[in-house]
């Protein structure tokens, strides 16, 4: 009788972690495909992440379209250094910078949050975007602006639409305040699917009414070539 080898500790959930990671890594693939499949280059484009609505990352050549893009994290090293310097010199301290699967993630403090049901940028968020725009404009990476709502708003509003309007407002100011190209900035709504804080307090809900930025470790040039190769293959 063949004896079954014991499962390693914690191994029972390994498949679930791997599956979730794979799903999250699809987001940037669809982002890049949609970025360069539209002729509406004069406006901020919308990324329809649909059921993915997630964290994001790059999973090269997942569907067989075109050659894979080699994700080189050194591509965002220069930008990361510039953002770190900005953060150290900024007395307000409203920006939070973290490494992400596909590049960098930028979040803002509670002072930069939205009023309930509103997509108007407050003065604190306007100030942060105005300071970030010229820094981001010196680099060629794709920028994804993500809009979020709190859980209470999701009960009384169209959460996806409200999140999208918040992302659109922030992205429009980002374009107006710096030298970023229109096709370098994308927007997406995550609704209430990625809460930043517990909803039990007013401060927690305030933190969830926000926008965040993802800086992808992929340049527009690389993504254009990849998407173009995918179109030819089809």
pLDDT value at residue 21? 47
Residue in this structure with the two tokens 């900035």, named with its chain if needed: 185
What domains appear along the chain, each with residue ranges and CATH number?
Answer: 27-233 (3.30.1330.60)
pLDDT value at residue 218? 76
| Residue 167 CB burial class (10 angstroms; 0-12, 13-18, ≥19) | buried
**Cα–Cα distance list, 14 to 8, 22, 25, 172, 234 (Å):** 10, 12, 17, 41, 35
As a whole number of angstroms, the distance between CA 216 and CA 140 comes to 10
As a whole number of angstroms, the distance between CA 230 and CA 226 comes to 6
As given in the structure block, the two tokens for residue 186 are: 């994308």
Whether the CB-CB separation of 171 and 182 falls below 8 Å is answered with no
| Residue 202 CB burial class (10 angstroms; 0-12, 13-18, ≥19) | exposed
**pTM: predicted TM-score of the whole model, two decimal places:** 0.69
19: number of Cβ within 10 Å: 10
Total count of residues recorded for the chain: 234
How is residue 213 annotated by DSSP?
A: E
Phi and psi at residue 147, in whole multiples of 5°?
Answer: -100, 145
pLDDT value at residue 72? 60
How is residue 198 annotated by DSSP?
A: -
pLDDT value at residue 71? 54
**Cα–Cα distance list, 32 to 86, 112, 144, 234 (Å):** 28, 28, 10, 16
Per DSSP, the three-state class of 160 is helix
Average pLDDT across each block of 10 residues of the chain; the chain has 234 residues. List them in order.
50 46 48 42 50 34 40 74 84 82 91 98 96 92 95 96 97 92 92 95 97 86 51 49
pLDDT value at residue 1? 54
């Amino acid at each position: 009788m063949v004896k079954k080898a014991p499962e390693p500790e914690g191994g029972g959930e390994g498949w679930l972690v791997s599956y979730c990671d794979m799903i999250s890594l699809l987001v940037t693939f669809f982002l890049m495909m949609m970025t360069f499949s539209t002729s509406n280059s004069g406006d901020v484009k919308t990324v329809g992440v649909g059921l993915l609505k997630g964290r994001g990352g790059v999973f090269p050549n997942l569907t067989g379209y075109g050659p894979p893009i080699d994700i080189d994290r050194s591509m965002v090293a220069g930008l990361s250094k510039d953002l770190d310097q900005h953060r150290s010199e900024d007395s307000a301290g409203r920006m939070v910078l973290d490494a992400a699967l596909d590049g960098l993630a930028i979040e803002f403090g509670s002072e930069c949050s939205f009023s309930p049901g509103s997509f108007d940028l407050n003065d604190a968020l306007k100030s942060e975007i105005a300071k970030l725009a010229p820094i981001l404009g010196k680099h060629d990476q794709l920028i994804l602006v993500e809009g979020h709502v709190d859980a209470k708003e999701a009960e009384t509003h169209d959460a996806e639409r409200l999140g999208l309007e918040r992302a659109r407002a922030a992205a429009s100011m980002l374009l107006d305040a710096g030298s970023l190209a229109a096709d370098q900035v994308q927007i997406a709504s995550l609704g209430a699917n990625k809460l930043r804080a517990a909803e039990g307090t007013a401060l927690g809900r305030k933190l969830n009414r926000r926008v965040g930025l993802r800086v992808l470790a992929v340049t527009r040039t690389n993504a254009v070539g990849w998407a173009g190769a995918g179109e030819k293959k089809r």
